[in-house]
A and B are shown apart, each in its own frame.
Chain A
Amino acid sequence: MTIKKHQNDNMEDKQSSESIEDKTKSVDPSRRRFTKSGLAASGVILTLASRPVLANAVCKSPSGFLSGNTSTHIVEMCFGNYPDYYANNPQAWYGTQYQPGTYNNQKENSNSIGNSSSTNNVDKWVGGTQFQEAFTGSRRFPGRSMMQVLWMGDPMGAHLCAALLNAALGLTPPLTEARIVDMCLEYETKGYFEPIAGVHWLEGDIIYYLQSLA
């Protein structure tokens, strides 16, 4: 018995605008009979991937990320940066209302922003916009600045800070700063974020989405 695996032509259907219901109606009857003839033959009939061919190039709001853009027309582009970029490039914060703070290096002028490439100590960064100031209403990271959170190694906190900076710089159009703050607060309150009714994103899901914007 030959196992019929997921065919490449079905993967091209990712970009189709057909609904799942249309797909089930269009299944070849002879293939449907074949799926009944073996124990696991053609176990996976088709897959609709949520990501477009130009992955990470098309920006989506959280609900859009869920539903997937089945059209090949690119609406908006994302040029977000990852957390480590903002952690190592405090000058990249210029143009936003968020301050990176000052790197406390005794070898340099105390008022200058130090070269953070050698920084591996969260507490060497002083001042700067507090996490709870940027994410008003949050109870996470009390007394910590956004820059410190970027260096603390907490994936969720770091990606939220990066996402906020990306939004402030206009790099991720569908996702606004207010939406990111709401995402943070909803997750803190409920333990999940609900991009659309009935769908719950846990920490891994939220991080996965925020990473897609870079």
Chain B
Amino acid sequence: MYLNGKFKMKWQIISSDQALYFHSWDNEYVVYNSLSGDTHLLNLTASRVLMKLQQSPTDAITLTKLIASTDQSESNAEKELQIEHLLAELNTLNLIEKCQNTITYTPPSCR
């Protein structure tokens, strides 16, 4: 369940000081986050999402269009929901953060 407009929320990497180091084997990526010191093993989709957010803040809908697989068995709504869940997971791991937030405090501005 989601609120209207939630998918329009933009995401970005956490800080301009944050460095993400990628190394790939087949379709899996090992990513080291200099900000947290953690190392993550990501699948192709997650790594592409992260690389895209490194370039510029982006919302889930745009990410889905850019990264969506050719698998037509899933509807766009299902794909967007999966991307939204992925973004929440990356946020939990301190890889990305929201540009805007519906909670009433001053959000970090999109760079």
The yes or no answer to B49 lying at the interface (CB within 8 A) is yes
8 Å CB contact of B46 from A43, A51, A68: A43
User: Does B45 contact A45, Cβ atoms closer than 8 Å?
Assistant: no
Among the interface residues A38, A42, A50, A200, which one has the most CB atoms of the partner chain B within 10 A?
Answer: A38
**A205 and B17 in contact (CB under 8 A), knowing A20-B41, A47-B93?**
yes
Chain A residues numbered 38-69 whose CB sits less than 8 Å from any CB in chain B: 38-51, 65-66, 68
Chain B nearest CB from A14 CB (Å) reads 9
- Residues of chain A within 8 A (CB-CB) of B83 are 39-40
8 Å CB contact of B34 from A1, A43, A45, A205: A205
Give per-residue flags for A188-202: 1 if the beta carbon is below 8 A from chain B beta carbons, else 0: 000000000001111
8 Å CB contact of B37 from A24, A41, A65, A203: A65
Chain B residues numbered 53-91 whose CB sits less than 8 Å from any CB in chain A: 64, 67-69, 71, 74, 78-79, 81-83, 85-86, 89-90
8 Å CB contact of A39 from B39, B45, B89: B45
- Residues of chain B within 8 A (CB-CB) of A50 are 36-39
Roughly how many angstroms separate A20 CA and B23 CA in the complex, as a whole number?
Answer: 12
User: Does A39 contact B85, Cβ atoms closer than 8 Å?
Assistant: no
The yes or no answer to B101 lying at the interface (CB within 8 A) is no
User: Does A43 contact B25, Cβ atoms closer than 8 Å?
Assistant: no
Roughly how many angstroms separate A201 CA and B83 CA in the complex, as a whole number?
Answer: 31
User: Does A45 contact B28, Cβ atoms closer than 8 Å?
Assistant: yes
User: Does B82 contact A47, Cβ atoms closer than 8 Å?
Assistant: no
**A1 and B41 in contact (CB under 8 A), knowing A47-B93, A203-B17?**
no
User: Does B37 contact A51, Cβ atoms closer than 8 Å?
Assistant: yes
Roughly how many angstroms separate A66 CA and B33 CA in the complex, as a whole number?
Answer: 10
8 more A-B residue pairs beyond the given contacts A36-B27, A199-B34, with a C-beta to C-beta distance below 8 A: A6-B93, A23-B41, A39-B69, A41-B82, A43-B49, A50-B37, A50-B38, A68-B37
